[in-house]
Amino acid sequence: MTISTEIANTIVDPKAYAHWERSHGAFAELRKSAPLDVAQPEGFDPFWVVTKFEDIQAVERQNELFHNGDRPTTLTTKAADQKVRELTGGSPHLVRSLVQMDNPDHANYRHLTQDWFLPQNLRQLEARIREIAKEFVDRMFDMGESCDFARDVAFLYPLRVVMEVIGVPQADEPRMLKLTQELFGSTDEDMNRAGANTEDSSPDEFVALINEVVADFFEYFSAMTEDRRANPRQDLASVIANGKIDGQPLGHLEAMSYYVIAATAGHDTTSASTASALWALAERPDQFKKLKDNPDLLPKLIEESIRWETPVKHFMRSATADTELRGKKIAKGDWLMLSYPSGNRDEDKFTNPFDFDIERSPNKHISFGYGAHVCLGQHLGRMEMRLLFEELLPRLASVELADEPTRVAAAFVSGPKSVPIRFKAA
Protein backbone atom coordinates (compact mmCIF):
# COMPACT_ATOMS: atom_id res chain seq x y z
CA MET A 1 0.00 0.00 0.00
CA THR A 2 1.24 3.50 -0.76
CA ILE A 3 0.35 6.70 1.04
CA SER A 4 -2.65 8.58 -0.38
CA THR A 5 -1.85 11.17 -3.02
CA GLU A 6 -3.42 13.90 -0.88
CA ILE A 7 -1.16 13.19 2.13
CA ALA A 8 1.89 12.63 -0.10
CA ASN A 9 1.35 16.02 -1.74
CA THR A 10 0.80 17.67 1.66
CA ILE A 11 4.06 16.51 3.21
CA VAL A 12 6.12 17.91 0.32
CA ASP A 13 4.17 21.20 0.19
CA PRO A 14 6.20 24.06 1.75
CA LYS A 15 2.95 25.89 2.61
CA ALA A 16 1.84 22.95 4.78
CA TYR A 17 4.73 23.69 7.15
CA ALA A 18 3.55 27.29 7.49
CA HIS A 19 0.16 25.93 8.64
CA TRP A 20 0.76 23.28 11.27
CA GLU A 21 -2.76 21.91 11.16
CA ARG A 22 -1.92 20.66 7.65
CA SER A 23 1.59 19.23 8.17
CA HIS A 24 1.04 17.89 11.70
CA GLY A 25 -2.39 16.61 10.69
CA ALA A 26 -0.92 14.65 7.79
CA PHE A 27 1.83 13.11 9.91
CA ALA A 28 -0.59 12.25 12.73
CA GLU A 29 -2.72 10.37 10.20
CA LEU A 30 0.37 8.53 8.89
CA ARG A 31 1.56 7.53 12.38
CA LYS A 32 -1.86 6.01 12.96
CA SER A 33 -2.54 4.31 9.63
CA ALA A 34 0.76 4.06 7.70
CA PRO A 35 3.72 4.72 10.04
CA LEU A 36 6.21 3.52 7.41
CA ASP A 37 5.05 3.55 3.83
CA VAL A 38 5.87 4.88 0.39
CA ALA A 39 4.80 8.33 -0.82
CA GLN A 40 4.66 9.15 -4.52
CA PRO A 41 3.86 12.86 -4.70
CA GLU A 42 3.55 14.47 -8.09
CA GLY A 43 6.94 15.29 -9.61
CA PHE A 44 9.02 13.39 -7.02
CA ASP A 45 10.69 10.00 -7.01
CA PRO A 46 8.87 7.69 -4.57
CA PHE A 47 10.24 7.67 -1.02
CA TRP A 48 9.54 5.98 2.30
CA VAL A 49 8.09 8.29 4.95
CA VAL A 50 9.55 7.49 8.38
CA THR A 51 7.14 8.98 10.92
CA LYS A 52 7.85 7.17 14.22
CA PHE A 53 10.48 8.26 16.73
CA GLU A 54 12.03 4.79 17.15
CA ASP A 55 12.26 4.21 13.38
CA ILE A 56 13.94 7.59 12.81
CA GLN A 57 16.51 6.68 15.47
CA ALA A 58 17.01 3.24 13.92
CA VAL A 59 17.84 4.79 10.53
CA GLU A 60 20.11 7.45 12.07
CA ARG A 61 21.95 4.78 14.05
CA GLN A 62 22.95 2.81 10.94
CA ASN A 63 25.15 5.18 8.94
CA GLU A 64 26.66 2.54 6.69
CA LEU A 65 23.24 1.13 5.78
CA PHE A 66 21.51 4.48 5.26
CA HIS A 67 23.63 7.08 3.46
CA ASN A 68 23.24 10.86 3.41
CA GLY A 69 25.14 11.66 0.25
CA ASP A 70 24.20 9.15 -2.46
CA ARG A 71 20.94 10.91 -3.34
CA PRO A 72 19.61 14.41 -2.50
CA THR A 73 19.76 15.00 1.27
CA THR A 74 16.59 17.12 1.20
CA LEU A 75 13.29 16.68 -0.64
CA THR A 76 13.96 17.51 -4.27
CA THR A 77 11.75 17.11 -7.32
CA LYS A 78 12.95 14.86 -10.12
CA ALA A 79 13.36 17.85 -12.43
CA ALA A 80 15.30 19.90 -9.86
CA ASP A 81 17.55 16.92 -9.07
CA GLN A 82 18.33 16.54 -12.76
CA LYS A 83 19.14 20.24 -13.05
CA VAL A 84 21.45 20.18 -10.00
CA ARG A 85 23.32 17.19 -11.46
CA GLU A 86 23.75 19.06 -14.74
CA LEU A 87 25.24 22.03 -12.85
CA THR A 88 27.55 19.92 -10.68
CA GLY A 89 28.70 17.33 -13.19
CA GLY A 90 26.68 14.51 -11.65
CA SER A 91 26.46 15.29 -7.93
CA PRO A 92 23.01 15.72 -6.37
CA HIS A 93 24.40 18.47 -4.09
CA LEU A 94 25.02 22.20 -4.71
CA VAL A 95 26.91 22.24 -1.40
CA ARG A 96 28.87 19.46 0.26
CA SER A 97 28.78 20.04 4.01
CA LEU A 98 28.75 17.56 6.90
CA VAL A 99 25.06 17.04 6.16
CA GLN A 100 25.79 15.64 2.67
CA MET A 101 28.76 13.48 3.74
CA ASP A 102 29.14 9.84 4.69
CA ASN A 103 32.15 8.21 6.29
CA PRO A 104 35.09 8.45 6.15
CA ASP A 105 34.65 12.09 5.00
CA HIS A 106 31.94 12.87 7.55
CA ALA A 107 34.05 11.78 10.53
CA ASN A 108 37.18 13.55 9.22
CA TYR A 109 35.45 16.86 8.46
CA ARG A 110 33.43 16.81 11.68
CA HIS A 111 36.59 16.24 13.71
CA LEU A 112 38.01 19.54 12.39
CA THR A 113 35.64 21.74 14.38
CA GLN A 114 33.89 19.54 16.93
CA ASP A 115 36.13 20.69 19.82
CA TRP A 116 34.83 24.22 19.27
CA PHE A 117 31.33 23.09 20.13
CA LEU A 118 32.03 20.98 23.22
CA PRO A 119 30.31 22.29 26.39
CA GLN A 120 33.61 22.83 28.23
CA ASN A 121 34.93 25.04 25.40
CA LEU A 122 31.65 26.91 24.98
CA ARG A 123 31.84 27.95 28.64
CA GLN A 124 34.66 30.30 27.65
CA LEU A 125 32.17 32.13 25.40
CA GLU A 126 29.40 32.34 27.99
CA ALA A 127 30.20 35.79 29.38
CA ARG A 128 30.37 37.31 25.89
CA ILE A 129 27.13 35.59 24.77
CA ARG A 130 25.40 36.90 27.89
CA GLU A 131 26.52 40.44 26.97
CA ILE A 132 24.98 39.98 23.52
CA ALA A 133 21.77 38.58 25.05
CA LYS A 134 21.52 41.59 27.37
CA GLU A 135 22.08 43.96 24.44
CA PHE A 136 19.14 42.49 22.53
CA VAL A 137 16.86 42.40 25.59
CA ASP A 138 17.72 46.08 26.23
CA ARG A 139 16.91 46.82 22.61
CA MET A 140 13.53 45.09 22.97
CA PHE A 141 12.55 47.14 26.04
CA ASP A 142 13.76 50.33 24.34
CA MET A 143 11.09 49.71 21.69
CA GLY A 144 8.34 50.39 24.22
CA GLU A 145 5.72 47.76 24.99
CA SER A 146 5.49 45.97 21.65
CA CYS A 147 7.77 44.47 19.04
CA ASP A 148 8.01 41.65 16.53
CA PHE A 149 9.93 39.22 18.70
CA ALA A 150 10.97 37.07 15.73
CA ARG A 151 12.33 39.88 13.57
CA ASP A 152 13.58 42.23 16.28
CA VAL A 153 15.19 39.74 18.66
CA ALA A 154 15.08 36.04 17.76
CA PHE A 155 16.52 36.39 14.25
CA LEU A 156 19.28 38.81 15.24
CA TYR A 157 20.63 37.55 18.56
CA PRO A 158 21.78 34.04 17.48
CA LEU A 159 23.01 35.59 14.24
CA ARG A 160 25.32 37.92 16.20
CA VAL A 161 26.62 35.02 18.33
CA VAL A 162 27.37 32.71 15.42
CA MET A 163 28.93 35.43 13.28
CA GLU A 164 31.29 36.30 16.14
CA VAL A 165 32.20 32.61 16.48
CA ILE A 166 32.93 32.36 12.75
CA GLY A 167 34.66 35.75 12.57
CA VAL A 168 32.19 37.65 10.36
CA PRO A 169 32.18 41.40 11.17
CA GLN A 170 28.97 42.97 12.51
CA ALA A 171 28.64 45.12 9.39
CA ASP A 172 28.10 41.96 7.33
CA GLU A 173 25.42 40.42 9.58
CA PRO A 174 22.46 41.79 7.56
CA ARG A 175 23.95 40.23 4.42
CA MET A 176 24.38 36.86 6.16
CA LEU A 177 20.80 36.96 7.48
CA LYS A 178 19.41 37.81 4.05
CA LEU A 179 21.40 35.04 2.34
CA THR A 180 20.32 32.51 4.98
CA GLN A 181 16.67 33.43 4.57
CA GLU A 182 16.98 33.28 0.78
CA LEU A 183 18.52 29.81 1.04
CA PHE A 184 16.22 28.20 3.61
CA GLY A 185 13.19 30.26 2.56
CA SER A 186 13.61 29.60 -1.16
CA THR A 187 9.96 28.44 -1.33
CA ASP A 188 8.58 31.39 0.69
CA GLU A 189 7.64 34.47 -1.34
CA ASP A 190 8.60 36.83 1.50
CA MET A 191 12.02 35.25 1.93
CA ASN A 192 13.31 34.05 -1.43
CA ARG A 193 15.49 36.07 -3.77
CA ALA A 194 12.77 36.46 -6.39
CA GLY A 195 10.39 37.96 -3.83
CA ALA A 196 7.65 35.95 -5.49
CA ASN A 197 5.71 32.72 -5.36
CA THR A 198 8.05 30.13 -6.91
CA GLU A 199 5.40 27.39 -7.25
CA ASP A 200 5.07 28.03 -10.96
CA SER A 201 8.80 28.54 -11.57
CA SER A 202 10.48 26.09 -13.89
CA PRO A 203 13.02 23.74 -12.26
CA ASP A 204 15.76 25.65 -14.14
CA GLU A 205 14.61 28.98 -12.66
CA PHE A 206 14.18 27.59 -9.16
CA VAL A 207 17.57 25.84 -9.02
CA ALA A 208 19.23 28.90 -10.57
CA LEU A 209 17.75 31.06 -7.79
CA ILE A 210 19.25 28.83 -5.07
CA ASN A 211 22.53 28.46 -6.94
CA GLU A 212 22.88 32.26 -7.05
CA VAL A 213 22.55 32.42 -3.27
CA VAL A 214 25.10 29.62 -2.82
CA ALA A 215 27.47 31.43 -5.21
CA ASP A 216 27.16 34.63 -3.13
CA PHE A 217 28.04 32.70 0.04
CA PHE A 218 31.02 31.08 -1.73
CA GLU A 219 32.28 34.45 -3.00
CA TYR A 220 32.10 35.96 0.48
CA PHE A 221 33.83 33.05 2.22
CA SER A 222 36.48 32.67 -0.50
CA ALA A 223 37.70 36.16 0.37
CA MET A 224 37.55 35.31 4.07
CA THR A 225 39.57 32.13 3.48
CA GLU A 226 42.34 34.07 1.74
CA ASP A 227 42.43 36.53 4.63
CA ARG A 228 42.55 33.85 7.33
CA ARG A 229 45.30 31.93 5.55
CA ALA A 230 47.38 35.11 5.51
CA ASN A 231 46.26 36.32 8.97
CA PRO A 232 44.89 33.49 11.10
CA ARG A 233 42.81 34.48 14.16
CA GLN A 234 41.10 32.76 17.05
CA ASP A 235 37.90 32.10 15.10
CA LEU A 236 36.13 29.29 13.29
CA ALA A 237 36.92 30.79 9.88
CA SER A 238 40.65 30.32 10.59
CA VAL A 239 40.07 26.68 11.55
CA ILE A 240 38.26 26.00 8.26
CA ALA A 241 40.66 28.07 6.12
CA ASN A 242 43.73 26.34 7.53
CA GLY A 243 42.23 22.92 8.22
CA LYS A 244 43.72 19.78 6.69
CA ILE A 245 42.32 16.33 6.01
CA ASP A 246 44.95 13.60 5.60
CA GLY A 247 47.59 16.34 5.33
CA GLN A 248 45.81 18.15 2.50
CA PRO A 249 43.88 21.46 2.68
CA LEU A 250 40.10 21.18 2.40
CA GLY A 251 38.73 21.12 -1.15
CA HIS A 252 37.17 24.41 -2.26
CA LEU A 253 33.62 23.03 -2.38
CA GLU A 254 33.97 21.38 1.03
CA ALA A 255 35.54 24.45 2.68
CA MET A 256 32.91 26.83 1.29
CA SER A 257 30.14 24.42 2.27
CA TYR A 258 31.53 24.20 5.80
CA TYR A 259 31.19 27.97 6.15
CA VAL A 260 27.68 27.88 4.67
CA ILE A 261 26.36 25.28 7.13
CA ALA A 262 27.91 27.17 10.07
CA ALA A 263 26.65 30.54 8.82
CA THR A 264 23.08 29.36 8.15
CA ALA A 265 21.97 26.42 10.29
CA GLY A 266 24.22 27.83 13.03
CA HIS A 267 21.76 30.62 13.78
CA ASP A 268 18.52 30.00 11.86
CA THR A 269 17.52 26.91 13.85
CA THR A 270 18.15 28.61 17.22
CA SER A 271 16.22 31.66 15.99
CA ALA A 272 13.25 29.42 15.16
CA SER A 273 13.18 27.69 18.56
CA THR A 274 13.64 31.02 20.39
CA ALA A 275 10.81 32.75 18.53
CA SER A 276 8.61 29.68 18.96
CA ALA A 277 9.26 29.63 22.72
CA LEU A 278 7.96 33.16 23.26
CA TRP A 279 5.05 32.60 20.86
CA ALA A 280 4.02 29.56 22.92
CA LEU A 281 4.34 31.44 26.22
CA ALA A 282 2.42 34.46 24.88
CA GLU A 283 -0.46 32.13 24.04
CA ARG A 284 -0.33 30.31 27.38
CA PRO A 285 -0.39 32.68 30.39
CA ASP A 286 -0.49 29.66 32.74
CA GLN A 287 2.84 28.38 31.39
CA PHE A 288 4.36 31.86 31.52
CA LYS A 289 3.27 32.28 35.17
CA LYS A 290 4.64 28.83 36.03
CA LEU A 291 8.01 29.81 34.57
CA LYS A 292 8.04 33.20 36.33
CA ASP A 293 7.21 31.51 39.65
CA ASN A 294 9.85 28.84 39.13
CA PRO A 295 12.81 29.98 36.96
CA ASP A 296 14.43 26.56 37.52
CA LEU A 297 12.03 25.32 34.83
CA LEU A 298 14.02 27.24 32.18
CA PRO A 299 16.01 24.21 30.92
CA LYS A 300 12.72 22.37 30.42
CA LEU A 301 11.22 25.34 28.57
CA ILE A 302 14.21 25.23 26.22
CA GLU A 303 13.88 21.50 25.51
CA GLU A 304 10.12 21.78 25.04
CA SER A 305 10.52 24.74 22.65
CA ILE A 306 13.06 22.85 20.56
CA ARG A 307 10.74 19.81 20.45
CA TRP A 308 7.70 21.97 19.75
CA GLU A 309 9.22 23.85 16.82
CA THR A 310 11.57 21.18 15.41
CA PRO A 311 13.28 23.69 13.07
CA VAL A 312 14.78 21.00 10.78
CA LYS A 313 11.69 19.36 9.28
CA HIS A 314 13.39 16.46 7.52
CA PHE A 315 16.49 14.86 6.11
CA MET A 316 16.61 12.22 3.40
CA ARG A 317 18.60 8.97 3.49
CA SER A 318 19.08 6.20 0.93
CA ALA A 319 19.58 2.49 1.57
CA THR A 320 22.94 1.03 0.58
CA ALA A 321 21.62 -2.57 0.73
CA ASP A 322 18.32 -4.43 0.93
CA THR A 323 17.03 -4.27 4.49
CA GLU A 324 13.94 -4.30 6.70
CA LEU A 325 12.40 -1.64 8.91
CA ARG A 326 9.15 -2.06 10.86
CA GLY A 327 8.64 -5.33 8.97
CA LYS A 328 8.76 -3.58 5.56
CA LYS A 329 11.27 -4.60 2.89
CA ILE A 330 13.39 -1.63 1.84
CA ALA A 331 15.41 -2.15 -1.33
CA LYS A 332 18.94 -0.99 -2.01
CA GLY A 333 18.78 2.55 -3.43
CA ASP A 334 15.41 3.36 -1.85
CA TRP A 335 14.99 6.95 -0.63
CA LEU A 336 13.71 7.64 2.91
CA MET A 337 12.33 10.84 4.46
CA LEU A 338 13.01 11.19 8.20
CA SER A 339 10.23 13.45 9.53
CA TYR A 340 11.51 15.03 12.74
CA PRO A 341 8.30 16.97 13.58
CA SER A 342 6.42 13.68 13.31
CA GLY A 343 8.92 11.89 15.57
CA ASN A 344 8.55 14.72 18.08
CA ARG A 345 4.75 14.32 18.13
CA ASP A 346 4.87 10.50 18.33
CA GLU A 347 2.15 9.42 20.75
CA ASP A 348 4.17 6.30 21.69
CA LYS A 349 7.07 8.48 22.84
CA PHE A 350 5.44 11.62 24.27
CA THR A 351 2.41 11.96 26.54
CA ASN A 352 -0.01 14.53 25.09
CA PRO A 353 2.49 15.46 22.35
CA PHE A 354 0.31 18.30 21.05
CA ASP A 355 0.45 20.10 24.40
CA PHE A 356 3.21 22.66 25.00
CA ASP A 357 4.33 21.69 28.50
CA ILE A 358 7.32 23.37 30.18
CA GLU A 359 7.32 20.63 32.84
CA ARG A 360 7.59 17.82 30.28
CA SER A 361 9.90 15.13 31.60
CA PRO A 362 11.51 13.14 30.16
CA ASN A 363 11.82 15.06 26.90
CA LYS A 364 14.20 13.11 24.69
CA HIS A 365 13.19 14.83 21.44
CA ILE A 366 14.89 14.24 18.11
CA SER A 367 15.17 17.83 16.88
CA PHE A 368 18.98 17.66 16.71
CA GLY A 369 19.01 14.32 14.92
CA TYR A 370 20.68 11.27 16.40
CA GLY A 371 23.85 9.22 16.14
CA ALA A 372 26.91 10.23 14.13
CA HIS A 373 25.10 13.10 12.38
CA VAL A 374 23.68 14.65 15.56
CA CYS A 375 23.81 18.46 15.35
CA LEU A 376 27.29 19.80 16.06
CA GLY A 377 25.95 23.08 17.45
CA GLN A 378 23.28 21.69 19.80
CA HIS A 379 25.07 22.78 23.01
CA LEU A 380 25.67 26.28 21.64
CA GLY A 381 22.00 26.59 20.65
CA ARG A 382 20.82 25.57 24.12
CA MET A 383 23.27 27.97 25.77
CA GLU A 384 22.13 30.88 23.59
CA MET A 385 18.49 30.25 24.48
CA ARG A 386 19.26 29.88 28.19
CA LEU A 387 21.24 33.13 28.39
CA LEU A 388 18.63 35.10 26.46
CA PHE A 389 15.76 33.92 28.67
CA GLU A 390 17.83 34.40 31.84
CA GLU A 391 18.15 38.05 30.81
CA LEU A 392 14.60 38.45 29.49
CA LEU A 393 12.30 36.69 31.97
CA PRO A 394 13.14 38.68 35.14
CA ARG A 395 12.34 41.89 33.23
CA LEU A 396 9.06 40.66 31.75
CA ALA A 397 5.83 41.02 33.79
CA SER A 398 3.50 39.81 31.04
CA VAL A 399 3.46 38.98 27.34
CA GLU A 400 0.68 38.40 24.83
CA LEU A 401 0.30 38.18 21.07
CA ALA A 402 -0.40 41.55 19.43
CA ASP A 403 -1.42 40.00 16.12
CA GLU A 404 -1.46 36.64 14.34
CA PRO A 405 2.09 35.20 14.07
CA THR A 406 3.16 33.64 10.76
CA ARG A 407 5.52 30.86 9.76
CA VAL A 408 7.96 30.43 6.88
CA ALA A 409 6.64 28.24 4.06
CA ALA A 410 9.50 25.74 3.72
CA ALA A 411 9.64 21.95 3.96
CA PHE A 412 13.32 21.64 4.99
CA VAL A 413 14.27 24.25 7.63
CA SER A 414 11.59 26.63 8.85
CA GLY A 415 10.13 28.40 11.85
CA PRO A 416 8.25 31.56 12.81
CA LYS A 417 8.44 34.42 10.33
CA SER A 418 6.72 37.04 12.48
CA VAL A 419 5.73 36.99 16.18
CA PRO A 420 4.12 40.35 17.08
CA ILE A 421 3.88 40.73 20.87
CA ARG A 422 2.74 43.21 23.52
CA PHE A 423 4.55 43.08 26.84
CA LYS A 424 4.88 44.84 30.15
CA ALA A 425 8.13 45.38 32.03
CA ALA A 426 8.41 43.90 35.50
User: What is the Cα–Cα distance from 396 to 290, expressed in whole angstroms?
Assistant: 13
**Mean pLDDT, to the nearest integer, of 63-85?**
96
Contacts made by residues 56-60, CB under 8 angstroms, sequence distance 24+? 56/338, 56/339, 56/340, 56/343, 56/366, 56/370, 57/366, 57/370, 57/371, 58/325, 59/317, 59/325, 59/336, 59/338, 60/338, 60/369, 60/370, 60/371, 60/372, 60/373
Average pLDDT, the chain: 96
Q: What is the pTM of this model?
A: 0.96
Q: What is the CATH number of the domain that holds 335?
A: 1.10.630.10
Q: pLDDT tens, 177-215?
A: 999 999 998 988 888 888 877 777 888 888 998 999 999
Query: Distance between CA atoms of 172 and 45, rounded to whole angstroms?
Result: 39
> What is the per-residue pLDDT across 290-341, written as a single tens digit (0 to 9) for each?
999 999 999 999 999 999 999 999 999 999 999 999 999 999 999 999 999 9
The fraction of the chain above a pLDDT of 70, given in percent, is 100
Q: Helix 252-283 and helix 105-113: axis angle, to 10°?
A: 70
Q: Which of 241, 238, 234 is nearest to 255 (CA)?
A: 241
Helix (H) or strand (E) holding 406: strand 406-407
pLDDT of 407 reads 98
Dmax over Cα atoms in the chain, in whole Å? Answer: 60
* C-alpha span between 383 and 272 (Å, rounded): 15
Mean pLDDT of 131-137: 98
Pairing of strands 420-425, 146-148: antiparallel
Q: Which residues make Cβ contacts (< 8 Å) with residue 414, sequence separation at least 6?
A: 14, 17, 18, 184, 185, 188, 272, 311, 313, 407, 408
Sign of the dihedral through C-alpha 9, 10, 11, 15: positive
Instruction: Work out the pLDDT band at 7, boundaries 50, 70, 90.
Output: very high
Query: Alpha-carbon distance 367 to 83, whole Å?
Result: 30
Nearest to 172 by CA among 224, 124, 212: 224
Contact by Cβ (8 Å): 309, 273: yes
Contact status, residue 27 vs residue 11, Cβ threshold 8 Å: yes
CA distance 19 to 331: 33
Q: How confident is the model at residue 74 (pLDDT cuts 50, 70, 90)?
A: very high
In the chain, pLDDT over 90 holds for what percent of residues? 92
Domain count, the chain: 1
The pLDDT of residue 56: 98
* Res 1: pLDDT: 61
The model's confidence at residue 38, banded by pLDDT at 50, 70 and 90, is very high
Domain residues for the domain of 347 are 5-89+96-425
Give the per-residue pLDDT at 303.
Answer: 98
The distance of Cα 123 from the centroid of its chain, to the nearest Å, equals: 23
Asked whether the beta carbons of 393 and 282 are under 8 A apart, the reply is no
85: pLDDT strictly greater than 70: yes
- How far is residue 8's CA from residue 77's CA, in Å, rounded to a whole number? 13
Chain centroid offset of residue 319 CA: 23
Number of Cβ within 10 Å of residue 422's Cβ equals 15
- Judge contact between 67 and 338, C-beta under 8 A: no
